[in-house]
Amino acid sequence: MKKRVVSVMLAGIMAMTMLSACGSKSAAAGSEANTEAQPATEESAETVAASSAEGVTDTEVNIAMQPSGAFIPFMIAREEGWLEESLSEYGVTVNWNDFESGPPMNESMAAGSSDIGFLGDVPAVSAIAAGQDNVAIAIAAEGTNAYALLVPADSDVKSVADLKGQTVSTVIGSTGHNLMEKLLSDAGLDINTDVNFVNINAGDAGTVLSTGQAAAVTIWEPNVTRLIENGTAKPLAYARDTDLLGVNPIMANREFAESNPVIINAIVDAYKRGVEELPNLSGDTLKAIAEYLSLDEAQVATVAGNWDYTVDITDKDIAGLNDTIDFLVKIGNLTDSYDFSEHVYGK
């Protein structure tokens, strides 16, 4: 059953505004040190063997995260230490790798430095097209309300059609690019001929709007809430005004996932628990998440409310990811299309 964030939950949020140093003994310590270490080595081997039989092969899991509102439930799990708690009995260490966006997360997974990645749709499908053998273990969120076309707060633009002949910006090759093209097309405009289409970094969206360098940008949360609430921008359209679903999957290296079903289940369960605990988000956990997303605490509730934390992988999600694949092939970022359903864990 899908877990969904409701307005009552949002009100609840807003209202509640191993020691690992190890050193080897020197050779001078002699054979006595080696003799003392032997029982621990045998015990470790037994623990690994038992864990492997129970569905855990690796002794650590490396998780790549990024500051997107799509992943707030797992930020809760991280702050509360739920995953570490559930995996401790298997002797599994949880390592966290933080990135600003999806592409470097893909590089980390390709290099074997990360086993799990919390990704947007474009980097998720692009990694697979580039040869990474990754699978979706869950859908973190759908974002029909989380991707938006913004114009300056004092703009006279009333409709997407009014953007004809003007400069529009987004991160080329991103979900924002897909949204921009869909919105312009629905308004009878061609992104290549009817507007001046300029690439930007996501962090520059506010600057190009406030300085007049662009008449409109397409961007995603938490940038949408931040730019609207600080008076820089106002929304002109959302993903919900098109057929863009904005799917953000949780991806895993296929070999790691198939060798460690207990770890995969623990990650998905921790995410589900995070969704359930959203109404109770407060205190130090809320503060930490707000800082991670560069928001104030009240804005965390707004951002969370614009994502649908669905968790389960549905046919609609797969269709949405296939739409992203087709879009990337259309703009030349991918050479060939493929079916995302072949990259779902357990199928």
User: pLDDT of 100-127, one tens digit each?
Assistant: 888 899 999 999 999 999 999 999 999 9
pTM greater than 0.75 (yes/no): yes
Q: Do 242 and 179 touch, CB atoms closer than 8 A?
A: yes
Rg value, the chain, Cα: 23
| 75-82 average pLDDT score | 97
Check residue 100 and give its pLDDT: 84
Confidence of residue 45 (pLDDT cuts 50, 70, 90): very low
Given a cut of 50, is residue 221 above it in pLDDT? yes
Which residue ranges make up each domain of the chain? Answer: 7-12+51-143+246-343, 147-241
The H-assigned helical ranges of the chain are: 7-15, 30-53, 72-80, 82-87, 102-110, 121-129, 175-186, 205-210, 223-229, 254-259, 261-277, 283-293, 297-305, 315-330
Tens of pLDDT, residue by residue over 152-206, are 999 999 999 999 999 999 998 889 999 999 999 999 999 999 999 999 988 899 9
Q: Do 180 and 170 touch, CB atoms closer than 8 A?
A: yes
Check residue 236 and give its pLDDT: 98
| 89-93 average pLDDT score | 95
Check residue 173 and give its pLDDT: 84
3-state secondary structure of 244: coil
Alpha-carbon dihedral 198, 202, 204, 206, rounded to 10 degrees: 100
127 phi and psi angles, rounded to 5 deg = -65, -40
Check residue 202 and give its pLDDT: 87
Confidence of residue 271 (pLDDT cuts 50, 70, 90): very high
Going by C-beta distance under 8 Å and a sequence separation of 6 or more, which residues neighbour residue 123?
A: 101, 102, 103, 105, 106, 117
| 226-248 average pLDDT score | 96
The H-assigned helical ranges of 55-101 are: 72-80, 82-87
Closest CA to 240 of 164, 320, 169: 320
> Which residue carries 């509102």 as its tokens?
69
Q: Comparing 6-15, 88-97, 98-107, which segment has the lowest mean pLDDT?
A: 6-15
Task: Kindly state the DSSP code that residue 25 receives in the 8-state scheme.
Answer: P
CA dist., res. 126 & res. 145, Å (int): 23
| 313-331 average pLDDT score | 95
The architecture CATH gives domain 7-12+51-143+246-343: 3-Layer(aba) Sandwich (3.40)
Given a cut of 90, is residue 18 above it in pLDDT? no
CA dist., res. 141 & res. 220, Å (int): 13
Q: Do 64 and 253 touch, CB atoms closer than 8 A?
A: no
Task: Kindly state the DSSP code that residue 68 receives in the 8-state scheme.
Answer: -
CA dist., res. 292 & res. 289, Å (int): 5
Looking at domain 147-241, its CATH class is alpha beta
Given a cut of 70, is residue 332 above it in pLDDT? yes
Check residue 283 and give its pLDDT: 94
* Mean model confidence pLDDT for the chain: 87
Check residue 17 and give its pLDDT: 40
CA dist., res. 138 & res. 71, Å (int): 12
Confidence of residue 347 (pLDDT cuts 50, 70, 90): confident
Given a cut of 70, is residue 13 above it in pLDDT? no
Check residue 198 and give its pLDDT: 96
